Structure 1
Amino acid sequence: MASIVAKDFKKLWPEHSQIIDKNLQALRVTFLEVVRDQQTFVLDNDIDTVVLLSPTLEDFASGNQLFVDETIYEPELEWSDEQKRSIQEKFTDDDSLWLLTDKKPSTTLTSMVPKARILVVDPLTRWGSQGIDSDFPFERWTISALDNTSK
């Protein structure tokens, strides 16, 4: 998409073609660095199996070749006691399982799943809702475990 926008910009401002190309290249490099950092985090923490709490994270899971053990897309307030017990048991029984969510985890959720295995990922679909840092526009996609004490 950035290439398409750059091409359109060069049609509008051909005199700035070199600057547009330079900015496009810088954007590509920055994007690749963010992807590399995400993949490094996933690999360093041996994340390979996840429970997804949002359909917006399916692309993230697929892009990082993560096995989706379960998807729970209903709002947390609608979870039955049995579902809550099942989630807690699942995370107690499997030390390698991670929870992926696109929202700040509630106290209830953090009581069921260790914070060190909760990964909050900001999905692309809400990019503009929190504004964009012009110095580091991809900062919102820097990932870490909820409690930052992972490997």
Structure 2
Amino acid sequence: MRKRNLALVLGLLVSSKFAISADILTATPATHILTSSLVEETSLDVKYLLPARYGVQRLESWLSSKGKDSLYQEAQKATAMVTLKSIWPQDTSFNHARHANIRLIQIDASQSLSHHGGSVAALTNSQGDVSIYSWMNPTNLSRMSKIIADDLVAIWPEHAEQIQANLQTNLIKLRQLTQNQSQILFDKQVESAILLSESLEDFAAGYQLFVEDRLYQPEIDWTPDTYRELKRKLAQDPSLFIITDRKISHELGDQIAAERILQVDSLERMGRLTFNNKSPFQRWANFSR
């Protein structure tokens, strides 16, 4: 009998462990990393909603299929959800979540509730919409961290001291990140760019790079003239570089010298690189050629 009771107790403990819910929900890698770093050394848990292989632009299609049920289950148990609602009104994830939990609190990482809290610097893309990739601008990362931290403290004042300490640590690391990347650009003498992805517009603005040209169409649609024009422009201006957020193709690598191509992680999807509490901003530091 005692063995049976012990087994029952252990079973309940194990099941309750796996039933522990996240306190905070996120739907972009950037907000997930920033939020996770702010709640380090607290009892708060953060849950990333999308499958790791999904890009943020697939959020709506995920919600219209099996993602809706997953979000509904998570939202029932959560307290807050971090979004970018002010610059990404097309994101309906919080609206779906509120159907499951009317008490759910929205933390808009792009717009402070305080009159003096400010907002992120937003760009307008080629379709006339505000770019959602505000996290690619290093200045915005610090602003987003402060906005999220303020709201977290308001919701969980018992963790205020730790969250504020984490925020100060984050701000120092973000300044170091910006300085390091600025130094890389300076050492390479990068002053202008040809962007291969719209997600890099905020990156170029954040580091004050002049955008010479934009080639957003898939590389498979490029013609020999496209490569010739690229090589011509690069030959004319030694401070001009190609910047991409994709893996450099064999064709591009064969046509363009490797030292004139910069590869930047746009945090479009979570992928295999998840949150690392020892180096939380490593994703932004993945800046290579």
Same fold at TM > 0.5 = yes
- Aligned counterparts of 1:64 and 1:46: Cα–Cα separation in 2: 13
From the superposition, tell whether residues 96 and 19 of structure 1 become closer, same or farther in structure 2 (CA, over 3 Å). same
- Structure 1 residue runs without a partner (length 5+): 147-151
Structure 1 5/96 Cα, relative in aligned 2: closer, same or farther at 3 Å? closer
Return the letter of the residue paired with 2:240: L
Segments of 4+ moved more than 6 angstroms: none
The residue matched to 2:216 in structure 1 has which SS? coil
- Correspondence for 1:36: 179
Which of 62, 67, 72 matches 2:215? 72
Indicate yes or no: 2:274 matched with 1:131.
yes
When Rg is computed on C-alpha atoms for both structures, the one with the higher figure is 2
Corresponding residue for residue 244 of structure 2: 101
Which runs of 5 or more residues in structure 2 are unaligned? 1-143
Secondary structure, aligned partner of 1:30:
helix
Q: Which has the higher helix share?
A: 1
Percent identity of paired positions between Structure 1 and Structure 2? 36
Answer yes or no: is the 8 Å Cα contact 1:116–1:145 preserved in 2: no
- The count of corresponding residues between Structure 1 and Structure 2 is 145
- Tell me the residue number matched to 1:53: 196
User: Structure 1: how far apart are the matches of 2:265 and 2:145?
Assistant: 20
Residue among 229, 244, 250 paired with 1:86: 229
What's the offset of the Cα at 1:16? 2.5
Of the two structures, which has the highest relative contact order with CA contacts closer than 8 Å and spacing of 6 or more? Answer: 1
* Alpha-carbon RMSD: 1.7
Instruction: Determine the C-alpha separation between the residues in 1 that align with 2:149 and 2:201.
Output: 29
CA distance in 1, matches of 2:236, 2:149: 50
